[in-house]
Structure 1
Amino acid sequence: MTDHKKINQITYACYSRNVRDGEQFIPEHVFSYQVSGRLVYNDGQKEYIFDQGSFRLTRRNTLIKFNKIPPENGEYANISVFMDQDTLKNVSMEYDYKATKSHHDEPVFRIPDNDLLSGYIESLKPYDELDKPGNEVLKNIKLKELIVILLQTNPSLKDVLFDFTEPGKIDLESFMNHNFRFNVSLERFAYLTGRSLSTFQRDFEKIFAVSPRKWLQQKRLQEAYYLIKEKGAAVSDVYLDTGFQDLSHFSFAFKKMFGLPPSQII
């Protein structure tokens, strides 16, 4: 059972079963409070675990795989507040907040608990009241309030929240070898490497001597073969872990490349 109540930029999510959403591109900064259960993030290099009662800030323009795990005989519940660039720019101008350095290290930040944040979460309830027509101004005030609280309790976050630069042109080969497991569009890969789609495709073929789509499928299948053959991973896990959304498509492509269905690889 899944229940979503969306309040403009404030979302309450509740699940009574284990939910493996695969991966997600995070386009805006997201502040979240873990009401119950556990959230496991993985950026391809590192795992981040957030248990009940924890606060976190996920940075925009981030690729993340995640798993939502409810407690035994309970429900997974999470509150998230999305901070769009227009709102942050308005707060920056109003209060003269400026980023002093570019902060591109961690994709997610653990935020220490404090009375202001706990009080803020309480003030978002009841969700249905905030969702009623005519409360748009109140919702915008609540978003602004969160930004100010985060900066008051964690001043260094100004270098994250008010960094309005777009991704610059980066090492394409290194980026793709690190992120090929994420099932996102070529347009998204191009954006994250600081390129237009046409430039991305041209640069890609110069480096890898093959089209991006073909390279991605071959790379993902090779990774899947290794995980099944050498690590004993389950096929039902591998196809998601290596960037495939559909098990039947994965099995068909795997058999075409290796001559055997993934279930027969020992």
Structure 2
Amino acid sequence: MVQDNDHILLNNLLYSCMDEKKRSNEQFVHEHSLGYIISGAVHCATTKGESMVKEGTIALVRRNQLLKSVKIPPSGGGEFKAINIFFNQDILRRYSLDNNIQATGHYTGDKYRVLPDDPFIKGYFESLLPYFSQPDRLSTALIELKTKEAIELILKADPSVKDLLFDFAEPYKIDLEAFMNQHYMYNVPVNNFAKLTGRSLAGFKRDFGKIFSTSPGQWLQHRRLSEAYYLIKEKGAKPSAVYLDVGFENLSHFSFAFKKTFGVSPSLL
């Protein structure tokens, strides 16, 4: 079990509970995730646009993508609460083999699927709640059973999700320059950028150097700072409201790098 003030993680089950708005620290989706928002809402942002996912929503998020999210408690007071279950590739492959279910081809649909309002899926999530207060009751065998149950339920609710769940292909090699110019504001390790562009880390760095004539780390910082300068200088944005959006982790590091690059503190523009 992994626990902090806002989350409890039991193997592949995650319970989130918080009484103030909070950005997600993780912006790379490693595995498919099925989530149910018990109360509050989630603001999601990708390069395709933004959306507000409301209380009561059941959604399936595809693996291998970049996603920014903000968890928001109910407007009238109370706590944001949600449960997620993550499907790793091993259990999906076993399920696919055991049940003779395959994807019809490479999945090219939405990376975020809102599923039908299904009482069985909601009942399933409610059945998970007691385990977060009594984690010793959740054995390895039971975790696998609950994971398979979730797969069964979402296939019954929307059979077409099989093309998402059982597409085991890894990202293929794509236009690195276009991808980086669209996704530079996501704060993820370079190896995640490499994976999403269909390259090994060494291949990514080699191709990156050929295109941009610099290293990924140097390019990312300069690109993020340039965007921040534009937002602050031309759009009147506040540094405290910009640094996270452009991909920095903390305000002090952002301010130091900004001043070093442009010769002036971002607060003085």
Q: Place the TM-score, normalised by the shorter chain, in its bin.
A: over 0.9
> In the alignment, which residue of structure 2 is the partner of 1:209?
213
> In the alignment, which residue of structure 2 is the partner of 1:69?
72
Residue 141 of structure 1 deviates from its aligned partner by: 0.8
1:7 counterpart (7, 10, 35) = 10
1:23-38 paired onto structure 2 within 5 Å: 23-38=26-41
Give the TM-score of the pair, scaled to structure 1: 0.94
Contact 1:254 / 1:260 at 8 angstroms: preserved in 2?
yes
Contact 1:43 / 1:107 at 8 angstroms: preserved in 2?
no
Compared CA separation, residues 20 and 197, structure 1 to 2 (3 A) = same
Residue 221 of structure 1 deviates from its aligned partner by: 0.6
Residues 138-162 of structure 1 deviation map (CA, whole Å, 9 limit, x = unaligned): 2211110110111111111011000
Letter in 1 for 2:183: N
Contact 2:131 / 2:138 at 8 angstroms: preserved in 1?
no
User: What do you get for the CA RMSD once the two structures are aligned?
Assistant: 1.6
1:231-250 paired onto structure 2 within 5 Å: 231-250=235-254
Counterpart-to-counterpart distance in 1, 2:95 and 2:133: 25
Compared CA separation, residues 193 and 246, structure 1 to 2 (3 A) = same
Contact 1:33 / 1:53 at 8 angstroms: preserved in 2?
yes
Matched residue pairs, number? 265
2:57 counterpart (54, 70, 75) = 54
Residue 110 of structure 1 deviates from its aligned partner by: 0.9
> In the alignment, which residue of structure 1 is the partner of 2:232?
228
1:185 counterpart (183, 186, 189) = 189
1:41 aligns with 2:48: no
| Structure 2 stretches lacking a partner, 5+ long | none
Letter in 2 for 1:65: K
Residues 71-127 of structure 1 deviation map (CA, whole Å, 9 limit, x = unaligned): 132101110001111110111001111011212342211112112212212222312
Give the percent of matched residue pairs that are identical in Structure 1 and Structure 2: 47
1:107-256 paired onto structure 2 within 5 Å: 107-128=111-132, 131-133=135-137, 135-256=139-260
| Structure 1 stretches lacking a partner, 5+ long | none
Give the TM-score of the pair, scaled to structure 2: 0.93
Letter in 2 for 1:245: E
Contact 2:36 / 2:122 at 8 angstroms: preserved in 1?
no
Counterpart-to-counterpart distance in 2, 1:154 and 1:264: 53
Secondary structure at 2:234 match in 1 = helix
> In the alignment, which residue of structure 2 is the partner of 1:257?
261
Contact 1:236 / 1:247 at 8 angstroms: preserved in 2?
yes
Contact 2:154 / 2:161 at 8 angstroms: preserved in 1?
yes
